Amino acid sequence: DTAVSQTPKYLVTQMGNDKSIKCEQNLGHDTMYWYKQDSKKFLKIMFSYNNKELIINETVPNRFSPKSPDKAHLNLHINSLELGDSAVYFCASSRGIGEYNEQFFGPGTRLTVL
Amino acid sequence: AQSVTQLGSHVSVSEGALVLLRCNYSSSVPPYLFWYVQYPNQGLQLLLKYTSAATLVKGINGFEAEFKKSETSFHLTKPSAHMSDAAEYFCAVSEDGTASKLTFGTGTRLQVTL
């Protein structure tokens, strides 16, 4: 029944590793997002996809690569993890673009890079 | 460029007291404004939004906010705080309703005491 789900909930890994976070929404939405929330709770958008097409790509290192296999999924792959990547990553979805629609957020994935 | 400033990273009120969380925005065009709430270890949930209709917006859980263009403010209020209101509150602005690109403030942690 979860509207926006993320896996894993917690991720602890070593510097230099490659990891992925998965996001799925069952709301039938067309638009999905990735946000990063740092240790000071500051929340910043990273990427947005609409109908599997990238529409927002903020200043994010190339080590971060989003992938949308279909409208219901938006995964985030991170290469060569660094200490500064430690944060909570939130996935969100909205009905679409054209007029503002409420964004529904997932529960977050807490990434810790050691 | 759009931005949001939340005055007070931490607000403490007694149960039953008025809640006032401050948000000021900067936008080059008429903005869309939002308040989100984040409970511990959870994702964000929309409380209310302003999209150029009524300036006084009512949201969930008894919260409301008033858009004041002359003051570039969108403060969140609730007449009587409950213990369950303790959470992190984020104000956000979107200049472009089509892309749903949100810029968040740094958040205000609300503490409710007996």
Chain B residue with the nearest C-alpha to that of A46: B101
On the question of pLDDT at B78 being above 60, the answer is yes
Residue B70 CB partners (closer than 8 Å, separation 6+): none
Chosen for mutation from A21, A33, A43 (greatest number of chain B CBs closer than 10 Å) is A43
**For every residue of B18-65, which 3-state class applies, written as one string?**
CEEECCEEECCCCCEEEEEEECCCCCEEEEEEECCCCCEEECHHHCEE
Contact between chains at B100 and A40 (C-beta distance less than 8 A): no
Per-residue pLDDT at B76: 98
Those residues of chain A whose CB sits closer than 8 Å to some CB in chain B are 4, 31, 33, 40-45, 48, 55-56, 90, 92, 94, 97-103, 105-108
User: Using one digit for the tens of pLDDT, what is the confidence trace for A14-55?
Assistant: 999 999 999 999 999 999 999 999 988 888 989 888 888 888
Contact between chains at A103 and B100 (C-beta distance less than 8 A): yes
CA distance linking residue B112 with residue A30, whole number of Å: 38
Q: Where are the beta strands (DSSP E) in chain A?
A: 4-7, 10-13, 19-25, 31-37, 43-50, 53-57, 64-70, 73-78, 87-94, 104-105, 109-113
pLDDT band at B53 (very low <50, low <70, confident <90, very high): confident
Per-residue pLDDT at B73: 95
Per-residue pLDDT at B94: 83
Mean pLDDT over each residue of chain A, to the nearest integer: 90
pLDDT band at B99 (very low <50, low <70, confident <90, very high): very low
Give the CA radius of gyration of chain A. Answer: 13
Pick from A45, A101, A105: which is nearest to B44 by CB? Answer: A105
Chain length of chain A:
114
Those residues of chain B whose CB sits closer than 8 Å to some CB in chain A are 32, 36, 41-46, 49, 51, 88, 90, 94, 97-104, 106-107
User: Using one digit for the tens of pLDDT, what is the confidence trace for B23-44?
Assistant: 999 887 778 899 999 998 888 9
Residue A99 carries which DSSP code?
S
CA distance linking residue B48 with residue B20, whole number of Å: 15
Per-residue pLDDT at A98: 58
On the question of pLDDT at A73 being above 90, the answer is yes
> Which chain B residues are closer than 8 Å to A108 by Cβ?
41-43
Residue B44 near residue B34, CB atoms below 8 Å:
no
* Helix or strand run (H / E) with residue B77: strand B73-78
Place of tokens 């005491």: B113
Number of CB atoms found within 10 A of residue A83's CB: 9
> Which chain A residues are closer than 8 Å to B46 by Cβ?
102-103
